[in-house]
A = this chain, B = another copy of it.
């Protein structure tokens, strides 16, 4: 079965609508989604950025928030800007990395995005993370301990390195089996169509 890798970052605004709709778009085309949490921070740092480009260029940031408001309204998703932005996504990414990609990782990720950008909650808050884990059917205490292991830390670093090697510079991004890169929530349909046409991973 054709597959597409969905690279997402918990601090990334457009990853929110993307995470909420990628499975539906892929399912319609018979494509499997591989959920690949990674960190943009190390990639942005190489560009000399110390925060989100949406903060560095205020006009770009204003448009992004308004655009996200329109997109979530169209999708019937709640929207609330988190403060501060961007949120520190390290713990969330480690937790997602530690979960099996059998539906639990996706369920946790969607619930956390809904809390972050739908309710404006802090994703560094252990109680918030715990609620997202519970919603995904995972026992929070066990998951939080597992997420702190050296193995998980190393796995997340490896995914981030892999993302960079595949040419990623932003999130969300989708990569097909033949290495074709698609950037952004706007490119989910094209990436899935590409995977369905030729890719098998």
Residues of A within 8 A of B (CB): 47, 56-57, 59-60, 62-63, 66-67, 70, 167-170, 180-183, 186-187, 190
Partner of A167, one of B47, B62, B70, B169: B62
Query: Which of A59, A167, A170, A183 has its CB near the most chain B CB atoms (within 10 A)?
Result: A59
For residue A152, give the distance in angstroms from its CB to the closest CB of chain B: 26
- Residue from the list B59, B167, B182 in contact with A59, Cβ < 8 A: B167
In the assembled complex, which residues on chain B have CB atoms less than 8 Å from the CB atom of A167? 59, 62-63
3 nearest A-B residue pairs (beta carbon): A59-B169, A186-B186, A60-B169
With both beta carbons as reference points, the residue of chain B lying nearest to A64 in the complex is identified as B183
Identical chains bound together, number: 2
Bound: A47/B62 CA distance, A: 15
Roughly how many angstroms separate A170 CA and B62 CA in the complex, as a whole number? 13
Which residues on B sit within 8 Å (CB–CB) of A187?
Answer: 67
Taking the closest CB of chain B, its distance from the CB of A7, in whole angstroms, is: 13
Give 18 CB contacts A-B under 8 Å.
A47-B56, A57-B169, A59-B167, A59-B168, A59-B169, A60-B169, A60-B170, A62-B167, A63-B167, A63-B169, A63-B181, A63-B183, A66-B180, A66-B181, A67-B182, A67-B183, A70-B190, A186-B186
Residues of chain B with a CB closer than 8 A to A59's CB: 167-169
